[in-house]
Amino acid sequence: MPEREEAYVCKKCGYVLPKRDAVVSGWDAEGSTTHVHCPRCGKIIARYVEQERKNRLDLNRIDQVLFILPFSTLADTMSTEFSLMFGGMEGGPIAGPIYEQYGHLGLIALTIFAFFVSLGCVWFLRYAKRRVVRGEGSKLNRVALVYAFLFFFFLEAYITGVAVQNLLVPFLSPSPKLFAIQYGVTFACFAAVSFFTRTEMKQLILERFRIRFGETKGFA
């Protein structure tokens, strides 16, 4: 007879979750804050759960990339100031008019606003991701979340490309070559972060929870 598989059992709703399919949440500070949620009702069914470092890094890759976004707005502003020192221009559809009317203070205010807005977007996306990992939402929700991640990844890559372009202004005058470098950096960064997070993206799309039958199917 096959060996009985180890599993967690939810005391609230009776859901049986095989340990091999459990998603460990929290920070692994000597196992002090790690735990497992029930995919059906969301209740914590196990605490102080050990997890492999590799798995933890895989589950955090999207978060790591997203947290770069707020700080990329700061890098964009600093590179813009550097460009302006060497005769560059602020040509952004939003930042351009603000700079013409309010000068450097306007750019600083816009940067602070963009920083906190992007930080709020990151928090919301991480919250939505936790809900999906628990098994909540339909396949359409999961696909929409993945496309939202890709949009912000591209936005982050585009800001990186603009920052590189600004830093090259003293060496290359505005020309097709400079714009080619900007968009080359943009698509290279987007491809890099997409490759870096491909495992977790696949998990978000292909994850299946058979709550009705009280069983779980692993990631495809």
pLDDT band (50, 70, 90) for residue 4: low
Structure tokens, 118: 């992007």
Q: pTM of the entire structure?
A: 0.64
Q: Identify which of 7, 66, 23 has the alpha carbon closest to the alpha carbon of residue 204.
A: 23
pLDDT band (50, 70, 90) for residue 186: very high
DSSP string for 133-147: HTT-S-HHHHHHHHH
pLDDT digit string (tens) for 86-130? 777 766 677 778 888 888 888 889 899 999 999 999 999 988 888
Burial class (CB in 10 A: 0-12, 13-18, 19+), 162: buried
pLDDT band (50, 70, 90) for residue 195: very high
> According to the model, what pLDDT value does residue 16 have?
86
> According to the model, what pLDDT value does residue 205 have?
74
> According to the model, what pLDDT value does residue 51 have?
54
CA atoms within 13 A on the CB side of 33: 5
Give the single-character DSSP code of 174. S
Burial class (CB in 10 A: 0-12, 13-18, 19+), 87: exposed
Distance of alpha carbon 14 from alpha carbon 138, whole angstroms: 22
Q: Which helix (H) or strand (E) holds 208?
A: strand 208-210
pLDDT digit string (tens) for 50-60? 654 444 434 47
Give the list of residues 6+ apart from residue 9 with CB closer than 8 angstroms, or none: 15, 16, 17, 45
